[in-house]
Amino acid sequence: MSNDETVLKQKMKEINGYEEALGLIQWDLRTKIPTEGAAYRSDVVGLLSEKIYSLKTSDELKEVIDNVQISTEDPILKQSAKELDREYLKYTKIPSEDYKAFVTLQSQSESIWQQAKETSDFSLLKPYLEDLIAYNRKFARIWGYDNHPYDALLNQYEPGLTTEILDPIFDRLKQALKDLLKRTQKSEVEVDTEMLLHHFPKEDQRAFGELVLEKMGYNFNAGRLDETIHPFAIGINPKDVRVTTRFVENDFRVGLFGTIHEGGHALYEQNFDEDLYETVLKSGASMGVHESQSLFWENMIGRSHAFWESHFDQFRKVAPAAFQTIEFDAFYKAINEVKSSYIRIEADELTYCLHIILRYELEKDLINHDLEVKDLPEAWNEKMHTLLGITPSNDAEGVLQDIHWAAGEFGYFPTYALGYMYAAQLHVAMQRDLDVESIVRMGDFEPIKAWLTEHVHRHGKMKEPLKLIEEISNETFNPDYLINYLTSKYTHLYDC
């Protein structure tokens, strides 16, 4: 091994060490830390983040990265160097005064957003949003792009994706989902969700959730399940991948589907190839691919007819008396209800992508000077009406609902819809190798997990997202799989 390769490995080990400490701190901040302890802990987050930043932006590392990219014959080291180079350029191209000012602005803006949302007062956030968008435009200019400045932002979260690829995909998806939504709305099928809203003790919900996680192949010896307010999964190291969930005692759907969703993320993090453990590649290929794993398990498995055929009896064994009289068909419909609603994170799988497309179109216009921040709430409400047929009664349930923009994140939202589309495309590819429906109906998901590990999980960040999807499915990224899946499921369910 060359000296450069040795130094690269040693630097990655150090970066990973700090990131592992930070990972544990993040988990603790969101699950266990006593209220008064959090303020002090944020200084530690600052210290460790600063260490990682200095390592990743050092001239010493850059030289090593450049040498290794040219000279190494080890594909993992080559890809690691490429990934580190991407980050090096991302951080170092921006003048450090701008970076610091942006970080400060982000944290001020996030706290103002809390206040703006509580009082439904967009004017509080407006000046911050203007500045954050100006910085994003500036960063896009510095990072560079071919056609649209938004491409540079998109590229942060989904390497290789551009508006040129995404525009026609989202247009096609939008039209199909709008049509499908209208058909379900005209349907005479009645869906009653009231029957789901009985008291269900947390500990019993947890028992069923753990059972499902185990069946998915989640390794509890390399993970654990805890409660939190905003559920997440986190790979602290490849043998310590934790799931968190939120149990709502009068609506078990929140905890159960949340657990399965985060379990999908966790399976990804638990199944990287061991060769990647000591590199910067032990992470998902992209935000979108990561989301494809959680959504595949949550929706295509967890909300499927076949899943409940194998699990409805076990569910009823754990559930309280009030659930014992529910009919299977009524239950299956209830957990798949379609309904236009204001809040993205509460949306069903049919309308969800419309919430994302709304944000995508507004983001592009904002970045491209085609929309001014002062006109944003109105533009939001208009689009909401066009896409979902409803108009928010205030900005708290409209433009102020998400933290992302207040945190200065533009280009992030599309990855959620990509996750849906990737999941559907992978689902069909999987069906070529496996009789997925029969497997799910039997209730043993091992072959499904093994397939995902073989094709997705184990590669970590070795491949770019669009290339990975293409290789697995033998086809370029295509929204029709999601459209077909949703059309088939919901025309059947709503008899429309």
- Residue 355 labelled as part of a binding site: no
d(CA 322, CA 197): 10
- Residue 265 labelled as part of a binding site: yes
User: Among all chains, which residue has been given the structure tokens 């990265």?
Assistant: 65
Give the nearest distance from C-beta 294 to its own copies in angstroms. 20
Return the structure tokens found at 124.
Answer: 């509080």
Give the nearest distance from C-beta 27 to its own copies in angstroms. 9
**Closer residue to its own copies (CB): 239 or 374:** 239
CA nearest neighbour of 41 among 56, 55, 57, 21: 21
Contact set for its own copies, span 146-205 (CB under 8 A):
none
Which region among 222-230, 436-444, 453-461, 482-490 touches its own copies (by CB under 8 A)?
222-230
Which region among 72-80, 215-223, 370-378, 462-470 touches its own copies (by CB under 8 A)?
215-223
Say whether residue 214 binds its own copies (CB under 8 A): no
Which region among 121-129, 133-141, 203-211, 221-229 touches its own copies (by CB under 8 A)?
221-229
- Residue 87 labelled as part of a binding site: no
Contact set for its own copies, span 377-416 (CB under 8 A):
none
With contact defined as beta carbons under 8 Å apart, do 367 and 133 qualify?
yes
| Sole binder of its own copies in the list 2, 67, 119, 237 (CB under 8 A) | 237
**Closer residue to its own copies (CB): 17 or 447:** 17
- Backbone phi, psi, residue 234, to 5°: -145, 130
| Sole binder of its own copies in the list 93, 100, 182, 224 (CB under 8 A) | 224
Give the nearest distance from C-beta 147 to its own copies in angstroms. 43
Say whether residue 24 binds its own copies (CB under 8 A): yes
Site string for its own copies, 272-291 (x = CB under 8 A): -----x--------------
With contact defined as beta carbons under 8 Å apart, do 261 and 280 qualify?
no
CA nearest neighbour of 493 among 333, 312, 304, 348: 333
| Sole binder of its own copies in the list 7, 17, 143, 397 (CB under 8 A) | 17
Say whether residue 36 binds its own copies (CB under 8 A): yes
Say whether residue 14 binds its own copies (CB under 8 A): yes
Say whether residue 28 binds its own copies (CB under 8 A): yes
**Closer residue to its own copies (CB): 212 or 236:** 236
Query: Please, what sign has the CA dihedral across residues 275, 280, 285, 287?
Result: positive
Say whether residue 222 binds its own copies (CB under 8 A): yes
Return the structure tokens found at 150.
Answer: 């938004």
**Closer residue to its own copies (CB): 239 or 369:** 239
With contact defined as beta carbons under 8 Å apart, do 326 and 293 qualify?
no
With contact defined as beta carbons under 8 Å apart, do 380 and 357 qualify?
no
Site string for its own copies, 44-63 (x = CB under 8 A): x--xx---------------
Query: Please, what sign has the CA dihedral across residues 67, 73, 77, 80?
Result: positive
d(CA 320, CA 264): 27
Give the nearest distance from C-beta 201 to its own copies in angstroms. 14
Residues 262, 269, 298, 363: which is the catalytic one? 262
Our answer to whether residue 397 is catalytic in this structure is no
Residues found near its own copies in the complex (CB under 8 A): 13-14, 17-18, 20-21, 24-25, 28, 32-37, 39-41, 43-44, 47-48, 219-224, 236-240, 242, 277
Give the annotated binding-site residues: 261, 265, 291
Q: Which residues are catalytic?
A: 262
Give the annotated binding-site residues for Zn(2+): 261, 265, 291
